Chain A
Amino acid sequence: MSNATLVSTVVNGDAVQFACPTDESLMSALRDRVGLTGVKEGCGTGDCGACSVTLDGQLVCSCLVLGVEAEGKEVETVEGLANGDQLHPLQEKFIEHAALQCGICTPGFLVAAKALLKRNPNPNETEIRYALAGNLCRCTGYDKIVRAVQAAAKDMRNKGRR
């Protein structure tokens, strides 16, 4: 590995260090160096959202961010969604509503939907559709995904959770 730089970051709450070339994407670093293959590569050009993560709370396509840009920042991936053996309400509702078929886009949708519900706990259908428009799903036609997000939002509001 040439041009490797040591990066110190917090991933899903844990202090993590990895060394990566300066031109390597955060997506590749998370997948290949941190071992978080829940971060999926669908396009590598920021068009599909399968690699969605949050960086200091900001939703990003990790393929459009360099690994070295995570220095000193907090990264959250799909692997950090569940609380121990308790699935996040979004995870529960995606299973319950059959909001996934092949499942490759699911991690990105979950991360993006969580980011949406954090800033807007009660989104209407249109708001959900536009908030998730950066995530491509080819299996479902989005119907059951939108319904799952609506159900999770309701569940979280009822439980006073964000």
Chain B
Amino acid sequence: MAHDNRYVEKDYKVVGSRVKRPDGVDKVTGKARYGADASAPGGLVGRVLRSPHPHAQIVKINTAKAEKLKGVKAVITSADLPDLTNGDQGMAHILENCMARGRALYDGHAVAAVAAIDEQTAAKALKLIDVKYKKLPHVTDVDEAMKPDAPVLHAKMFTRGVDPAPTKASNISARTQMGYGDVDAGFAEADVIVERTYKTEQTHQGYIEPHACLASVNPDGTAELWVTTQGHFTFRNVCSTLLGLDIAKLKVTSSEIGGGFGGKTHVWAEPVALALSRKANRPVKLVMSREEVFRASGPTSSTSIDVKMGAKKDGTITAAVAEMRYQGGAFPGTWAMLGCMTAFACYDIKNNKTIGWDVVVNRPKVAAYRAPSAPMAAFAVESTIDLVAKEIGKSPIDVRLKNVAREGTQAPYGPTYGPIGIENTLEAVKAHPHMRAKLKKNQGRGIACGFWFNIGGQTCVDLNIGADGTVNLSVGTVDVGGARSSMAMIAAEELGISYEDVKTNIGDTASLGHNDTTEGSRGTFSSGMATIFAARDAIQVLKQRAAKMWGIPVEDVEWQDGEAVAIGKMHDNLPALSLKEIAAKAGRTGGPIAGHNEVVADGAGMGFASHICDVEVDPETGRSQIVRYTVVQDAGKAIHPDYVEGQFQGAAAQGIGWALNEEYIYGDDGRLQNPGFLDYRIPVCSDMPFIDTKILEVPNPNHPYGIRGVGETSIVPPLGAVGNAIANATGVRMTHAPMSPPRVLAALDAQDAG
């Protein structure tokens, strides 16, 4: 059945309230089962041997001794994962990333794996595997990797997007250019021009639950995978391809997920666990250590970015150019392209140009991290706008408002914006009491804006009504932060029943049609849309059943507030039939009552946010403490405001960690020096103030409830907001994130010396 996805204003009964999440009790009592919490009869322990070298040829792997160790049931290398990718280069890179094939491309690259009866035996077996390496020169810095004499990782990689195509292989996988207008003419019009170069270091999503899975493959080609993932359907497709399994015969169940933030959208250990299980013909549980998570999962890019911006004295930005270099780890990505798309997306700049360079280095393959690539671009752009404002003597907020993107503005990446909320967030910031609060000594205030697209994608939902009128809703997007509540609220709203009467279940791959990965802030948008449509289908069935019970034409039945009502004078004597009453008779009126929906959820709305940050900088140590922080973001429609606020606060906290502390530190030897939470320091409770939030609701015209994705946008502004606050507190402009105590102290010393 075709459904209309257009926004219709309405009064909500359930949506917008703050109900208790249905999985709350499981999660506060320890009953909820995450990736590492499953076990299977005869289960083995899997462990992975990893390269200690950032770049090396693997001359020989001798597994004989490990195989002979008592209790070892399988040892695998790349020979046990033959290349079935059939010319699909992206898939081939995933395969090689899961298990090195003749060469190790980063410190931590998987080289071999074992399955044994227990942890101790598996650990002992790893030590018995003899790998002969021939070390190769390495490069881990993005700017170094672009130099003509840099060690080249892929002998057949020629930069795409350059005309004429290069004939010499390099570490630059692609060049991207976007924008419109004439930037030279724009700069000629400008009264002031500001140019700066910025650097951001590599950070990790830092989900507290390491990657974990339980794999079981049978000799007949049937298989099961229990795994912590943001996309069990995508994992099924990828693992089926890499292992040569039939898609329908691999059942993937998503466990509870202990955080993902984009980092659980890609496979690493799962194909390895499946290959071990296949060889041993026993279930294999494979859990990464925290060190493995840091060294060998998918952190985000480090970057190096040049921004040039010109403006008139009245604040109009006449031209803006950004050239951005994104490090994608050992395999090519499209991270710089996302930087190009987002860099100037908050503004209406008549002449703008972005150039992106995607670069490979000897680091782990980069994965998505919450609004991937946008925070780094925004750090550079939002810092530069403050510099422009200072040059022309206007307030940073007024310069932003002067150039703000509105409905009808052409986005730098092409399309024209519909109704968007960036101006609303800036006006809300301007009016916020936070902006008028007094600052103390050594404190400064900064603001910054952020943009993220949000996506829709393939979505499938099942809604089944039980004999007592309670409802099972099965969705295929995972619940990372309260989504079960939002989905149940939407179903209850549509059907006109109470929230408590709907139970949301995350369906496994054998029970539901394909669902794209839960990424791009699509969960509530897409599954919410499919839930609305499935509920509307179910209502059609309910009306037919009511008509049958009454013996009247279905055209004479309407659905009002959870009841079938007979319309028209002829039916005045018919009392309304509740959903429960209709459900109780289902067996005699045509069988089970259900609604289903399969959809490509188009029309995801853009997400915009503006943040206010107060920071206090200790001039003795260079340490920055966030003393007050406010997030204003457009949610389109907040289904469950508690969890919308939670997304805003969590995203801001991650951005603050990135701004102040978090960074991958590689030694000259190309090895990661801080693969643990002690030395890779994410914000702790005592680092943070309460984070004020303000939810704005500018409806997305392409969703029945006006929903926009809310999960990612608020990680985009913090780097710029913190940098601007530090500049206002100290007079020092930081251009290198994280703005950690040593960097800030060095900048303060340089200021004193200068």
Across the interface, do B690 and A102 meet the contact criterion of CB distance under 8 Å? no
Say whether B36 faces chain A, with CB atoms less than 8 Å apart: yes
Across the interface, do A103 and B691 meet the contact criterion of CB distance under 8 Å? no
Distance (whole angstroms) from the CB of B752 to the closest CB of chain A = 32
List, in ascending order, chain A residues with CB within 8 A of B682's CB.
136, 138
Binds A, one of B20-28, B93-101, B327-335, B580-588: B20-28
Across the interface, do B686 and A129 meet the contact criterion of CB distance under 8 Å? yes
Say whether B438 faces chain A, with CB atoms less than 8 Å apart: no
Pick from A82, A97, A135, A144: contact of B29, CB below 8 A.
Answer: A82
Residue of B nearest to A107 (CB): B30
Say whether B54 faces chain A, with CB atoms less than 8 Å apart: no
A91/B29 contact (C-beta < 8 A), A102-B481, A135-B685 known: yes
Across the interface, do B29 and A45 meet the contact criterion of CB distance under 8 Å? no
List, in ascending order, chain B residues with CB within 8 A of A145's CB.
685
Across the interface, do A81 and B29 meet the contact criterion of CB distance under 8 Å? yes
The distance in angstroms between the C-alpha atoms of A102 and B120, with both chains bound, is 31
Across the interface, do A94 and B28 meet the contact criterion of CB distance under 8 Å? yes
Across the interface, do A96 and B677 meet the contact criterion of CB distance under 8 Å? no
List, in ascending order, chain A residues with CB within 8 A of B645's CB.
98, 143-144
Distance (whole angstroms) from the CB of A138 to the closest CB of chain B = 5
- Residues 109-122 of chain B, each 1 if its beta carbon lies under 8 Å from chain A, else 0: 00000000011100
The distance in angstroms between the C-alpha atoms of A48 and B206, with both chains bound, is 11
Distance (whole angstroms) from the CB of B19 to the closest CB of chain A = 10
Say whether B290 faces chain A, with CB atoms less than 8 Å apart: yes
- Chain B interface residue count: which class? 35 or more
Across the interface, do B691 and A143 meet the contact criterion of CB distance under 8 Å? yes
List, in ascending order, chain B residues with CB within 8 A of A143's CB.
645, 649, 688, 690-691
List, in ascending order, chain B residues with CB within 8 A of A142's CB.
653, 683-685, 688
Across the interface, do A102 and B258 meet the contact criterion of CB distance under 8 Å? yes
The distance in angstroms between the C-alpha atoms of A44 and B212, with both chains bound, is 14
Q: How many A-B residue pairs have CB under 8 A?
A: 186
- Considering residues A42, A50, A107, which has the most beta carbons from chain B within 10 angstroms of its beta carbon? A42
Pick from B34, B257, B653, B676: contact of A40, CB below 8 A.
Answer: B34
Give the A interface residue count (CB, 8 A).
61
Residue of B nearest to A97 (CB): B642
The distance in angstroms between the C-alpha atoms of A36 and B33, with both chains bound, is 11
Across the interface, do A138 and B25 meet the contact criterion of CB distance under 8 Å? no
A43/B261 contact (C-beta < 8 A), A36-B30, A140-B649 known: no
Across the interface, do A38 and B31 meet the contact criterion of CB distance under 8 Å? yes
The distance in angstroms between the C-alpha atoms of A105 and B21, with both chains bound, is 17
Pick from A1, A21, A105, A146: contact of B690, CB below 8 A.
Answer: A146
A101/B685 contact (C-beta < 8 A), A45-B290, A136-B208, A138-B206 known: no
Distance (whole angstroms) from the CB of A82 to the closest CB of chain B = 6
Say whether A139 faces chain B, with CB atoms less than 8 Å apart: yes
Within 8 A of A (CB), among B116-155: 118-120
Say whether A160 faces chain B, with CB atoms less than 8 Å apart: no
A102/B480 contact (C-beta < 8 A), A42-B208, A140-B650 known: yes
Across the interface, do B481 and A138 meet the contact criterion of CB distance under 8 Å? no
- Residues 276-292 of chain B, each 1 if its beta carbon lies under 8 Å from chain A, else 0: 00000000000101100
The 20 listed contacts between A and B (C-beta, < 8 Å) are A28-B119, A37-B36, A38-B31, A40-B208, A40-B258, A41-B36, A42-B210, A95-B24, A95-B25, A102-B207, A102-B258, A126-B686, A129-B686, A138-B207, A139-B646, A142-B683, A143-B645, A143-B688, A144-B645, A146-B685
Closest 4 interchain pairs by CB? A38-B30, A104-B258, A141-B653, A101-B481
